[in-house]
Amino acid sequence: MDLRLETVRAGYGAHTVLHALSLRLAPGTVGCLLGPSGCGKTTALRAIAGFEPIGAGRILGDDMVLTDAGHIVPPEKRGIGMVFQDLALMPHLDVASNVAFGLHRQPRAERDARVAELLELVGLAGSAKAYPHQLSGGQQQRVALARALAPKPRLILLDEPFSSLDVELRERLSQDVRAILLHEKTTALLVTHSQFEAFAMADVIGVMRSGHLHQWDTAYNLYHRPADRFVADFVGEGRLLPGTRRADGAVEMELGVLRAHAEIPPPGPVEVLLRPDDVVHDDSSAVQATVTARAFRGAEFLYSLRLDSGREVLSLVPSHHDHAIGCRIGIRLDVEHLIAFAI
């Protein structure tokens, strides 16, 4: 489905939750709404599914109006599948019957073939006769996905589908689910507050806060070209440090002078985003900082460093450089693409 939201406003009574939400999800792509709890992700998904009316704007699927301020195509007529956090598998039906649930109008042979195909796809071909309570959480989630995909929906909506699973399983499952969605060529929209899931699954990610969509973009652009301070802060790790943009284009900071490019703000005070890989440990550097915290990440340490001004930066350092908290270490900047915001 080619899904379009055009300046959608929605909410509950007098409480507006979505403010002029606009986005487009191209057919066959996986999109994600990412944002802190309460920012309106689920409300957006429910409006797309047809469970919530909207106060203004339009929701279109393949150029057909699904919802506008005066009218709603009912959920069952939209060709949209859903996978929610609480799986709602039917406990008294075996796995195959759960997956077949939405296919009751199809001839038996076709239905059985589709169920077998999906169970194969989600890696549960051997569990067709098992009951939900005999499966692990991850397996149950796969059944829920197979069930939602069975009728070949034009769009599938996934609301925090992995939130009840442990981290390791989430990681594996989110990659598997992406592969399954691509295989089925289903357009999908996922809602999560986990960046990891968003990055692992989505082609395009929308960062939301308080019902506003701050940026609808690829993971690469959210990380390397954040549209504003909120996205810069919310996506990935990093710290904002004050600086001054000079007339010659360079930016002066306490850590040195950085070359700038045309996109950054005009001369004046700015805030510069420094990612942990922008701050390089270098014993020969004159600039020193104090290690205030460190997290072992296997190949690297993530150091929190206090500058002489009292401000903090993060630095990723190969883990054979093992510096204790309180140590002074030399650092220099190695910024490939300067990101700065006018203050």
> Nearest-CA neighbor of 7 among 69, 58, 41, 68?
58
Give the interface segment with ligand ATP, choosing from 12-20, 169-177, 228-236, 314-322 (CB under 6 A): 12-20
Choose, by CB under 6 A, the member of 1, 3, 43, 49 that binds ligand ATP.
43
Least separation in angstroms between residue 50's CB and ligand ATP is 15
Nearer to ligand ATP among residue 52 and residue 278 (C-beta)? 52
Round the CA-based radius of gyration of the chain to a whole number and report it: 24
| Phi, psi torsion values for 104, nearest 5 degrees | -60, -20
Residue from 39, 83, 241, 274 binding ligand ATP (CB under 6 A): 39
Of the two residues 17 and 316, which places its CB atom closer to ligand ATP in the complex?
17
The answer to whether the beta carbons of residues 337 and 278 sit under 8 Å apart is no
Helices 167-184 + 137-149 axis angle, to 10: 20
Token couple for 38: 């309460």
Q: What x/- string results for residues 88 through 117 when contact with ligand ATP is judged by CB under 6 A?
A: ------------------------------
Closest approach of ligand ATP to the CB of residue 178, in Å: 21
Q: How far is the CB of 146 from ligand ATP (least distance, A)?
A: 24
> Which one, 99 or 204, has the nearer CB to ligand ATP?
204
Q: Which residues contact 156 (CB under 8 A, 6 or more apart)?
A: 80, 81, 82, 83, 148, 149, 181, 186, 187, 188, 189
Please identify which residue in 17, 157, 251, 258 interacts with ligand ATP, judged by CB under 6 A: 17
Residues 185-204 within binding reach of ligand ATP (CB under 6 A): 193
Strand 187-192 versus strand 64-68 pairing type: unpaired
- State the nearest-atom distance from the C-beta of 11 to ligand ATP, in Å: 7
Q: Is 40 near ligand ATP (CB under 6 A)?
A: yes
Q: Which is nearer to ligand ATP, 16 or 106 (CB)?
A: 16
**Residue 190 beta carbon to ligand ATP: minimum distance, rounded to whole angstroms:** 12
User: Which two structure tokens, joined as six digits, stand for 55?
Assistant: 């106060």
Q: State in angstroms the smallest separation of the CB of 55 from ligand ATP.
A: 13
What is d(CA 91, CA 195) in angstroms, rounded to the nearest whole number? 32
CB of 9 to ligand ATP, least distance (A): 13
138 near ligand ATP, rule: CB under 6 A: no
Provide the Cα torsion 191, 195, 201, 202; round to 10°: 70
* C-beta pairs of 207-210 under 8 Å, 24+ apart in sequence: 207/34, 207/35, 207/231, 207/234, 207/235, 208/33, 208/34, 208/35, 208/39, 208/40, 208/41, 208/44, 209/35, 209/36, 209/39, 209/234, 210/19, 210/39, 210/40
Instruction: Map residues 262-301 to x or -, x wherever contact with ligand ATP holds by CB under 6 A.
Output: ----------------------------------------
Query: Angle of helix 167-184 relative to helix 108-121, nearest 10 degrees?
Result: 130
246 is written with which tokens?
């000079």
Considering the complex, state which of residue 15 and residue 320 has its C-beta at the smaller distance from ligand ATP: 15
- End-to-end CA, the chain: 41
Secondary structure class of 234 (helix, strand, coil): helix
Q: Which stretch binds ligand ATP (CB under 6 A): 36-44, 70-78, 241-249, 321-329?
A: 36-44
Would you say 41 or 147 has its CB closer to ligand ATP? 41
Is 37 one of the binding residues for ligand ATP (CB under 6 A)? yes
Q: Given the rule CB under 6 A, which residues bind ligand ATP?
A: 12, 15, 17, 35, 37-43, 193
